[in-house]
Amino acid sequence: MKKLLTGGSIALILILSFYLYQKTTEPPPRLLGTYQSETNPPNIIMMSFTHEGEFEEYFNSKLVDSGTFKKEEEGVYSIHSENKTDLLLTQKGDQFYYYFDNDEVYLLKNLDKAPSSILTD
């Protein structure tokens, strides 16, 4: 009985250790696809990031900026356009905070890993 209890305890410790190791070494999300704000209604920010390293930024469904982005280090990306150069830090849950016009902060969450564009006339 004592051997069974000891063996079970060791197995439980090993399983918990493996689980915690996986959680702590999980890399930050990759910046790819479509992200949209859920804060500061009624204004909505949407950003789309492609496999080719390009992004588009929409404010209330209107294209306001586009350019390129690149990975600087794990979880850190830089975006570059004629209007700005900025850093984005991805967080758990595949989201990031974004400063629009340097005065409003929006939390953008990933909607889909497929990039989206809004067609305009």
Identify the band that residue 50 occupies on the pLDDT scale cut at 50, 70 and 90: very high
In a domain, 108, yes or no: yes
User: Cα 32–21–8 angle (5° rounding)?
Assistant: 140
Q: Residues 7-25: what's their mean pLDDT?
A: 66
Listed range (10-14, 48-52, 75-79) with the worst mean pLDDT = 10-14
Quote the CA–CA distance of 29 and 27 in Å, as a whole number. Answer: 6
Burial class (CB in 10 A: 0-12, 13-18, 19+), 64: middle
Residue 94, domain extent = 33-112
In a domain, 83, yes or no: yes
In a domain, 50, yes or no: yes
Identify the band that residue 101 occupies on the pLDDT scale cut at 50, 70 and 90: confident
In a domain, 9, yes or no: no
C-alpha gyration radius of the chain: 20
In a domain, 64, yes or no: yes
Q: Residues 18-29: what's their mean pLDDT?
A: 62
Q: Which residues contact 37 (CB under 8 A, 6 or more apart)?
A: 43, 44, 45, 46, 98, 106, 107, 108, 109
For the entire predicted model, the pTM comes to: 0.73
- The CATH number for 100's domain is 2.40.128
Q: Residues 78-95: what's their mean pLDDT?
A: 91
In a domain, 25, yes or no: no
Q: pLDDT value at position 76?
A: 92
The number of domains in the chain is 1
In a domain, 24, yes or no: no
Quote the CA–CA distance of 77 and 31 in Å, as a whole number. Answer: 8
In a domain, 106, yes or no: yes
